[in-house]
Amino acid sequence: MHFGKLNFLLSPLSFFYGIGVGLRNKFFDWGILSSEQFPVPVICVGNLSVGGTGKTPHVELLIRILRKKYRIAVLSRGYKRKTNGFVLATSGITSYDIGDEPYQIYMNFPEIIVAVDADRRDGIRKLLSLPEPPSVILLDDAFQHRYVTPSLSIVLTEYLRPFYQDKLLPFGRLRESKYSIHRSDVVVVTKCPKDIKPIEYRIIEKNMCLTAHQAVFFTEVCYSEIKAVFPEEAEPWSLLDIREKDSVLLISGIAYPGDFIREMKKYSRNVVPLCYPDHHFFCKQDIDQIEKTFDSITSLGKLIVVTEKDAVRFKNIYDEIPAHVRQVMYYLPITIGFCSHSQEEFEEIIKKHIVSFQRENSI
């Protein structure tokens, strides 16, 4: 379909969608729809757009900052899980039970509480009724879930597609108006290039039109060393072992795999991408395709690299993956780095907020 015609068709839909979302927000603002506050710090990590801004690694960043001092719980909806209601992550749980992202968090931080519930109010109540309740709750992707009033809201927006340049669904990717950014306390511009210039910081901050109380940070994706999906079976490989003439079969089930592909092309000029939809649960047919593609690669040196989020899904279907594929299957972890040396300031805001909240609620 011609792009101009598509604009013509989708623009009215975006208009009416915006009216619906705007009325809903006004109902919360006017108290017609009620929002509940809780007696513990509730930090929400969300965005204005659909997917792809890096919420999970930023939630993991918060866990790393707080886990030594506080009993942390992460509460998520558990997108695409096969269960309903409130589910607490325990030994033997799978990504089918709680969703791939909560499962990834649980595997990386088994010492914290991880739970899922589409009804965040009900989920928080159940977390606070545990024998050892959390002292801090992190809400993953809940900025639009206004039935809970978070004590601190962190909104993420992508460097290459900031919210102020986007449009409402279905014409664009925004789930609500760009003016909703004023409900946030902290805005993080994610996936910034390593060579971002100081003038770009100022231009982006100006275009966001934030108020004085809102803090802005810029982060970048940092890739770590590859790790075996099945460490008890894998052959030894590291990124430095990959030669330019080696082949890498790249498998991704994430919203925007471009950065992942570009990262692996730094090590090999023979990168073969197999891209699946975001949150894709791999089936026998997918495994057959992966095996066939891998076996057709003739390079002497070859391996399979998947995203960290996809790795947790492959662990659920161990028996369906051929042994020779498991032996060369690795994932590429990511962490978050701060541009312009501002991580200390970010940590200070988070820690001061928790201390202040606890002090005010103990009086």
- For residue 196, is pLDDT > 60? yes
- 206 in the same domain as 87: yes
- 248 in the same domain as 206: no
In a domain, residue 12? The reply is: no
The mean pLDDT of the chain is 93
pLDDT digits (tens, 9 = 90+) for 226-247: 999 999 999 888 999 999 999 9
Separation of alpha carbons 151 and 341, rounded Å: 26
The least confident of 5-19, 50-64, 128-142, 339-353 is 5-19
**CATH code where residue 122 lies:** 3.40.50.300
**CB–CB of 241/305 below 8 Å?**
no
**CB–CB of 332/263 below 8 Å?**
yes
Residues sharing a CB contact under 8 Å with residue 41, sequence separation 6 or more, in sequence order: 135, 136, 137, 151, 152, 353, 354, 357, 358
In a domain, residue 11? The reply is: no
User: What average pLDDT does this structure show over 8-33?
Assistant: 90
- 241 in the same domain as 187: no
The predicted pLDDT at position 52 comes to 80
Separation of alpha carbons 181 and 184, rounded Å: 6
Token digits for 189? Answer: 């511009």
**CB–CB of 103/90 below 8 Å?**
no
In a domain, residue 3? The reply is: no
- 249 in the same domain as 178: no
User: What average pLDDT does this structure show over 122-129?
Assistant: 98
Q: What is the pTM of this model?
A: 0.93
**CATH code where residue 247 lies:** 3.40.50
In a domain, residue 307? The reply is: yes
Token digits for 82? Answer: 């096969």
- 203 in the same domain as 63: yes
Residue 8 — very low, low, confident or very high, per pLDDT cuts 50/70/90? low
- 233 in the same domain as 305: yes
- 201 in the same domain as 247: no
Amino acid at 136: V
Residue 4 — very low, low, confident or very high, per pLDDT cuts 50/70/90? very low
In a domain, residue 16? The reply is: no
Three-state DSSP at 341 gives helix
Q: Are strands 329-332 and 227-228 parallel, antiparallel or unpaired?
A: antiparallel
In a domain, residue 56? The reply is: yes
Say how many domains are in the chain. Answer: 2
* Whole-number Cα distances in Å, 116 to 140, 297, 299: 10, 40, 43
Residue 55: CA count within 13 A, CB half-sphere: 26
Residue 38: CA count within 13 A, CB half-sphere: 28
- 45 in the same domain as 140: yes
Q: Among residues 357, 363, 332, 361, which one has the least CA distance to residue 66?
A: 357
- 267 in the same domain as 203: no
**CB–CB of 48/174 below 8 Å?**
yes
DSSP assignment string, 139-173: EES-TT-TTB--SEEEEEEESSS-GGG--BTTTSS
- 260 in the same domain as 272: yes
In a domain, residue 19? The reply is: no
In a domain, residue 113? The reply is: yes
- 243 in the same domain as 201: no
DSSP assignment string, 255-315: S--HHHHHHHTTT-SEEEEEE--TTPPP-HHHHHHHHHHHHH---SSEEEEEEHHHHHHHH
User: What average pLDDT does this structure show over 284-301?
Assistant: 95
The predicted pLDDT at position 340 comes to 73
- 217 in the same domain as 262: no
* Whole-number Cα distances in Å, 96 to 83, 139, 286: 7, 20, 17
The predicted pLDDT at position 11 comes to 80
Q: Among residues 98, 84, 54, which one has the least CA distance to residue 278?
A: 54
pLDDT digits (tens, 9 = 90+) for 60-110: 999 999 999 999 999 999 998 999 999 999 998 999 999 999 999 999 999
pLDDT digits (tens, 9 = 90+) for 138-182: 999 999 999 999 999 999 999 999 999 999 998 899 999 999 999
For 188, the domain range is: 28-221+339-358
Q: Which helix (H) or strand (E) holds 77?
A: none
Torsion of CA 91, 95, 98, 99, to 10 degrees: 160
pLDDT digits (tens, 9 = 90+) for 255-284: 889 999 999 999 999 999 999 998 898 999
